[in-house]
Amino acid sequence: MKVLKFGGTSVGSPERFEKLWPIIQSQKSDRKLVVLSAVAGTTNALVAIAAHYAQGEVAQARQMIQQLFQSYQVFVYTLFVTTEGIEKGHTLIQSHFTLLDELGNDLFTSVEERWVLAQGELLSTALFHQYLTEKRIASVLLPALDFMRISEDQEPDLPYIQQQLNDKLTQFPTATLFITQGYICRNAFGEIDNLRRGGSDYTASLIGAALKVEEIQIWTDIDGFHNNDPRCVSNTKPIAHLSFDEAAELAYFGAKILHPQSVFPAQKANIPVRLLDTLDIQAPGTLISSTFDHPDEIVAVAAKDNITAIRIHSSRMLLAYGFLRRVFEVFERYKTPIDMITTSEVAVSLTLDDCTHLQAIIAELNHFGKVEVDEDQTIVCIVGDFKRNKNGYATLVSEAVKHIPIRMISYGGSEHNISLLLPSKYKIEALRALHHRLF
Residues annotated in a binding site: 5-8, 43, 121, 220-221, 231
> Which of 102, 116, 110 is CA-nearest to residue 43?
116
Between helices 110-134 and 58-79, what is the axis angle to 10°? 10
Q: 197: which residues sit within 8 A by CB, 6+ positions away?
A: 259, 261, 262
Contact between 114 and 185 (Cβ < 8 Å):
no
Residue numbers in the known binding site for substrate are: 43, 121
From the number of C-beta atoms within 10 Å of its C-beta (0-12, 13-18, 19+), residue 238 rates as: middle
Give backbone dihedrals phi and psi of 388, rounded to 5 degrees, phi first: -65, -20
Contact between 214 and 46 (Cβ < 8 Å):
no
Task: Tell me the C-alpha to C-alpha distance, in Å, between residue 72 and each of 52, 68, 127, 184, 308.
Answer: 21, 6, 10, 20, 41
From the number of C-beta atoms within 10 Å of its C-beta (0-12, 13-18, 19+), residue 178 rates as: buried
Q: How far apart are CA 173 and CA 375, in angstroms?
A: 57
Q: How far apart are CA 264 and CA 205, in angstroms?
A: 8
Q: How far apart are CA 278 and CA 227, in angstroms?
A: 20
DSSP state at residue 156: B
Residue numbers in the known binding site for ATP are: 5-8, 220-221, 231
Task: Tell me the C-alpha to C-alpha distance, in Å, between residue 374 and each of 71, 183, 309.
Answer: 44, 36, 5
Q: How far apart are CA 425 and CA 171, in angstroms?
A: 58
Q: How far apart are CA 125 and CA 142, in angstroms?
A: 9
